[in-house]
Amino acid sequence: MVAALAAPLATLPALPATAQIPPPGAPMTFAPLAQRLLPAVVNIQTSQAAAQARQQQRPGTPPGGPEVPQAPPGSPFEEFFRDFLERNRPPGGQPNRPQPPSRRGQSLGSGFIIDASGIIVTNNHVIDGADEINVVMSDNTTLRAELVGTDPRTDIAVLRVQPERPLPFVTFGDSDTALVGDWVLAIGNPFGLGGSVTAGIVSARGRDIRQGPYDDFIQTDAAINRGNSGGPLFNLAGEVIGINTAIYSPSGGSIGIGFSIPANLARNIAAQLRDVGRVRRGWLGVNIQQVTEEIAESLSLPGGARGALVARAQEDGPAAAAGIQAGDVILRFNGQEVREMRNLPRIVADTPVGRQAPVVVWRDGREQTLNVTVSELPAEAAQAGTPDPAPDARPQTLELAGLGLKIGPITPEARERFTLRPESRGVVITEVSPGSPAAERELRPGDVIVEVQQERVNSPAEVQARLEALRRQNRATALLLIESAQGQRWVPLRLAAPQGNPG
């Protein structure tokens, strides 16, 4: 029986070289580590003028009514005060008396010192909108803080205090060496209770929680609650490997799913904010999309779905100047592998502005290397809305059998009916059959087919001819470049045999 149980264990892989291997029986206690780190973790208290605070009222507080007294967020007292005010509100929902104009709203968070001179890192959302920021040290000393710089894209902010003596501080570690299963400590200010220590493990790496283009969160089961935001996540060496930023919780309390910004992202952002007060990010100037298995198959890309597919290289952008084209798959950028689409924005953003970076792309069935000079990410342009298409005469159409599509030429009537841009070229989709392969790919009337299998098309007959050629080659998928009001994207479309033709 012992041999039978032991046999499968022999097939387990060896530990990675970067794994943290604690001494036998450790950790029996986190006390020595916590005692060393606690003095470098601070509580952050912010306040804002009453008018501003009322604009950011908590859910459940009626407009114009009195604010809930500032008990720690999420505490039982918060619910008590809210219930009390609701019971005593006069008819019509108006407060019994006006609020004094000097009334101020407050919020609580966490941060950590990275320099003895008084440089502190926290989350942007902890101090966003504040007109007064105070930092409470572990010995209860309170210092007024100055906002040095903030980066809403990554939710990082840097503060400065003026201490009378050098402060204890902590350093960033290499978050890339943190492995799933490693021990971690979270220290912060949950619910305004002051310095609290929780322990857990790294639960997952590279989490995308739809907070922005640079999502690469560390997930942990160390208890993280409201007020922990901006606090550090430590490894057993006492290095900061993450900034605790978000939790997943239906109730608002910890359920063991917390998310931290990795140190390798935060380190560069914090350094730029400290040195120049703002962040300069690298910019490539491309619209990209995920490479699916079907797209990889249609492009004969070895290794399956990987890389970032270029839907458009923006005019006058660095990518277009370097020769990057729509339809290229970016596989490596500046020596780093692009495993999937969402890796590319972070890699490019971390590349110093002005650097010439090699870019490996998949084009015409082979790898090619181009050199691009990285520019600075410009301010985001406002997106203009597109009016609904006006009903008008339909252009002459051609049905693509087996795909559920009807297409037509781009005529003046089609431009007016579908509100196409003046520069749009290609073939317009005039009708999509419900439940068809085209509908499954979310193609819609008014979308323009620009290319089929990376070749330009200018008429419905050309589209039909290209699709028939692909069928004769026994290709299962056609890759279409589609232009819509939201921009360009590549769409893999399964080729069904037309009715009346053999399989």
| DSSP summary character for residue 419 | T
The active-site residue out of 107, 229, 254, 375 is 229
Which residue shows structure tokens 């439940």?
435
Tell me if 137 sits within 8 A of 282, measured CB to CB. Answer: no
132 forms bridges with which residues in the sheet? 47
Q: Which amino acid is at 140?
A: N
Tell me if 338 sits within 8 A of 347, measured CB to CB. Answer: yes
125 is an active site residue: yes
**In this structure, is the dihedral angle defined by the CA atoms of residues 490, 313, 357 and 382, taken in order, positive or negative?**
negative
| DSSP summary character for residue 27 | -
216 is an active site residue: no
**How many helices and strands, by DSSP H and E, does the chain display?**
12, 28
The active-site residue out of 47, 75, 115, 125 is 125
290 forms bridges with which residues in the sheet? 308
Residue whose C-alpha is closest to residue 136's, from 225, 263, 227: 227
DSSP E strand boundaries for 356-469: 356-363, 366-373, 375-376, 398-400, 405-409, 427-432, 448-452, 455-456
DSSP E strand boundaries for 116-231: 119-122, 132-136, 142-144, 146-151, 156-160, 183-188, 196-207, 217-220
Interatomic CA distance for residues 313 and 332, integer angstroms: 17
The active-site residue out of 155, 182, 215, 328 is 155
229 is an active site residue: yes
Cis peptide bond upstream of 32, omega within 30: no
CA angle, residues 102, 105, 107, in degrees to nearest 5: 150
Burial 31-50 (b: 16+ CB within 10 A, else e): eebbeebebbbbbbbbbbbb
The residues annotated as belonging to the active site are 125, 155, 229
